[in-house]
A and B are shown apart, each in its own frame.
Chain A
Amino acid sequence: MPRETLDRKLNILQQEMLILSSMVESAVTASVDALKAHDLETAKQIIATDRTINARRFELENDIIITIATVQPVMATDLRLVASILEVVSELERMGDYAKGIAKVALLIGKEPHIKPLIDIPLMAELAVSMLHRSVEAFVNKDEETARRIPAEDDRVDALYNQVYRELVTIMFQKPTSIDQANHLMWVAHNLERLADRVSNICERAIYVATGKLQELSVSDDEYLSAV
C-alpha cells in the first residue's frame, strides 16, 4: 500500500470534514442571529446553504467510498478513522438540518415581535456550537481527554432548554395568542438541545479513533426512567 497516498487521502478527508463542520457551525449561529434580528433574507440564505451542506456531505461520503476502494484503509486506526468520518459527516448533516429548521422558524415568525427576549436560546446556540467545534477538533487531533470532557457540557444546554421550556409554557398559559410563536420557539430550543446531544456522538467517534474503544458517552437517562 502506498502509505504516502493513503496519508494524503486521509488528511484531505479530515480537512473536508472540518470544512463541513465549519459550514454547520456558521449555519447554526447565523440561524439564531437571523431569528433574533428578524432577518428574513439571512434565514432564506441558510435554507439554501443547507442544500450545499447536504451536497458536500454526499461528496465527502463518495470520497470516502472511493478511498476505501482505491487505497484500502482497512486496518486499525486507518479503518477506524474512515468509518468514523462517515459517521461524523452524517451527524453534521443532521445538525445542518437543525439550522435549517431554526431558519424556517425565523421565516414563520417573520417580523412579528418576539413574545419574550431571546437570551437563553442564543446562549444555547453558542454553547452547542462551541461544543461542536471542539469535538471535531478533538476528533482530528485524536484527543481522547477533550472528547471525554465535552459531553458533560450538555448538562448546561439541557438546563437552558428546560428553562426555556418552562418559560414558554408559562407564557402560553398566560397568553394563549402566543401559543403559535411559543411553539415555534420551543422547536428552536429543541433543535439546539438535540444538536448538543449529537456532539456526544462525535466525541464517541473521536475516542474510538484515538483508542479503539466504542462506548456511549451520553448522560444517564435514569431520571426519565425513574419518572415512569
Chain B
Amino acid sequence: MSLSFKIQTANNLEAIDFNPDGVHAIEVKSLNVYYGSFRAVKDVTLGIARQKITAMIGPSGCGKSTVLRSFNRMNDLVAISRTEGEVLFHGKNIYEPDVDPVEVRKRVGMVFQKPNPFPKSIYENVAWGARINGFKGKKSDMDNLVEQSLRRAALWDEVKDKLDQSGLSLSGGQQQRLCIARTIAIVPDIILMDEPCSALDPISTLKIEDLMRELVQDYTIIIVTHNMQQAARVSDYTAFFTLTDNRAGFLMEYGDTTQLFTNPKEQVTEDYITGRFG
C-alpha cells in the first residue's frame, strides 16, 4: 500500500509530496512544548511504530497528553502554547510553516476522553467524516462508506436499524465507537486516543480495546491512558513519562509493553507501575 499523499499548505494550495519513510509512523525529535513560560514537555525524542498500538502512561501532569496532542497539532488551539523540535510524519516536520494543521488532523485523527458525537443522526456523524475528506460520491457510495466505517468500529449491528436516530441517543460506549467510526471515515493514517475509555463501563472498555486490536491491522494507534492494565492489555509498545523537579514532563522509559510491565529497566518506572507514586 502506497502511503504517499499530498498535503495542502496553509498559505497556498500548492501540494507537497510526502514520501513514506521507514518503519516509524511518527518520529519525534527533541520536542519541547511550552504553555507561556512553563515548559510542559522537555526534550522528548521517540519513534512511533507503524500499525502498532503505542501506549503513553505516566502520572498526572507528566505531559503525555500534550505529547499526544503535538502529533496532530492540537496544541496549536491553545493560544499560549509553543512547540519546539520536530514531529516528523512521513518524513515531514508537521510544524513547518507550510503545513496546514487541518490537513494534518485529517491524517492523524483523534478520539477524546469523553465521547463527543455531533447532535446529528448516527448516519450524519459518520458521513461528516467522509465529507471532511472531500467525499463527493453518490448517495449509495456514501451509504456504503458509512456502513463500512460503522462495521469497522464494531457498531454496525447495534445501529443499522436506527441510523437516523441522534448519535446522542446511544450509550457512552456506543457513542465512543461512533466517534471512532467518524474518525475512520476521514481515512487517517494514525488514530490518537486520549483516555478513550475513562468514561466507559468495563464491558464498553473491553469492546473498545478489542476494536483497537482490530483497527491496528490498518492504522497506527497511540493511546494515552491512566489505566496501566489497559496499556498492558492493549498496546505493543509503552512510553512512560514522568516529571522533572520543575514539573516538566519527559520520557523516562520506552519499550516493548510486556518487558516494561514485567521487568522495567528504570526504578522510577517500576515505582510508578507498582503504585509507589503517581
Complex Cα–Cα for A6 and B276 (A): 10
Please give, as numbers and ranges, the residues of chain B lying within 8 Å of A77 by CB-CB distance. 270, 274
Judged by DSSP, the binding face of B is: helix
Interface size class of B (residues with CB under 8 A): 10 to 19
Report chain B residues within 8 Å CB of A3. Answer: 274-276
Closest to A73 in B: B274
Q: Taking the complex as formed, is B228 at the interface, i.e. its CB lies under 8 A from any CB of chain A?
A: yes
Would B229 and A74 count as touching, CB distance under 8 A? yes
B270 touches A76 (CB 8 A): yes
CB-CB under 8 A from B274, the residues of chain A are 3, 73, 75-78
Q: Mark A74-91, 1 if CB is under 8 A from B, else 0.
A: 111111100000000000
Chain B residues, Cβ within 8 Å of A74: 229, 232
Cβ-defined contact, A75 with B228, below 8 A: yes
CA distance A76 to B266 in the complex (A): 11
B273 and A76: CB pair below 8 A?
yes
B60 interfacial contact with A, CB 8 Å: no
Q: Does B264 contact A (CB under 8 A)?
A: yes
Cβ-defined contact, A76 with B262, below 8 A: yes
Whether a CB of chain A sits under 8 angstroms from the CB of B169 is no
A80 touches B262 (CB 8 A): yes
Please tell me if B263 contacts chain A, counting CB pairs below 8 Å.
yes
For chain A, the bracket of interface size reads: 10 to 19
- B246-278 CB mask vs A (1 if < 8 Å, else 0) is 000000000000000111100001100111100
User: Smallest CB-CB separation from A211: which chain B residue?
Assistant: B263
Query: In the complex the two chains form, what is the Cα distance from A74 to B229 in whole Å?
Result: 8
Kindly list chain A residues whose C-beta atoms are within 8 Å of the C-beta of B229: 72, 74
Task: Please determine whether A75 and B276 come into contact, CB atoms closer than 8 angstroms.
Answer: no
Query: How close is B189's CB to chain A, nearest CB, in angstroms?
Result: 32
Chain A residues with CB under 8 Å of B264's CB are: 76
Report how far A73 CA is from B261 CA in the complex, Å.
11
Are B275 and A79 closer than 8 Å at their CB atoms?
Answer: no
A residues whose Cβ falls under 8 Å from a Cβ of B: 1-3, 6, 72-80, 211-213
B-to-A contact residues, CB < 8 Å: 228-229, 232, 261-264, 269-270, 273-276
Instruction: Given A3-B274, A75-B228, A80-B262, output 16 extra A-B contacts at Cβ < 8 Å.
Output: A2-B275, A73-B274, A75-B274, A76-B261, A76-B262, A76-B263, A76-B264, A76-B269, A76-B270, A76-B273, A76-B274, A77-B274, A79-B261, A79-B262, A211-B263, A212-B262
